Amino acid sequence: MFNPQSDSGYRQLADGIRQKTLNFGERTLMAEFKLAQGSLLPVHAHPYEQTGYLISGRLRLRIGGEEFAARAGDSWCIPADVEHGAQVLEDAVAIEVFSPVREDYLPADIRS
């Protein structure tokens, strides 16, 4: 499946945090996150493995019991069911891949 770039399709997940599904297959889903400075992604866990890459900005990531200062070019992998969250230190853009596919991130017309 090919999806051309588009500025539409973002949804607000929390104050200052927007998400857009870029593409998905049978076993993975790739999403873009636009994060505003000062925003907080509350600590949470889910049954999806999550691999991310920070395109721009700075984040303080908490994964399990560890904290990381992430800068553009850094990447991470969060195992399934591990608590994680983030503080946005500078406007940021991140790409993350989830496996298995997060049904809650699928377009509404495709969700089962």
Model pTM score: 0.92
* Residue positions counted in the chain: 112
pLDDT at 112: 59
- Burial of 112 from C-beta contacts in 10 A (0-12 / 13-18 / 19+): exposed
Q: Are 93 and 32 in contact (CB under 8 A)?
A: yes
Q: Is it true that domain 19-100 has CATH number 1.10.3720.10?
A: no
**3-class DSSP state for residue 74?**
coil
* DSSP code for 94: E
Sign, CA dihedral 39-43-47-53, equals: positive
- All structural domains of the chain with their residue ranges: 19-100
pLDDT at 4: 84
pLDDT at 3: 83
pLDDT per residue rounded down to tens, the chain (112 residues): 788 888 888 999 999 999 999 999 999 999 999 999 999 999 999 999 999 999 999 999 999 999 999 999 999 999 999 999 999 999 999 999 999 999 999 987 776 5
Place of tokens 């998905």: 24
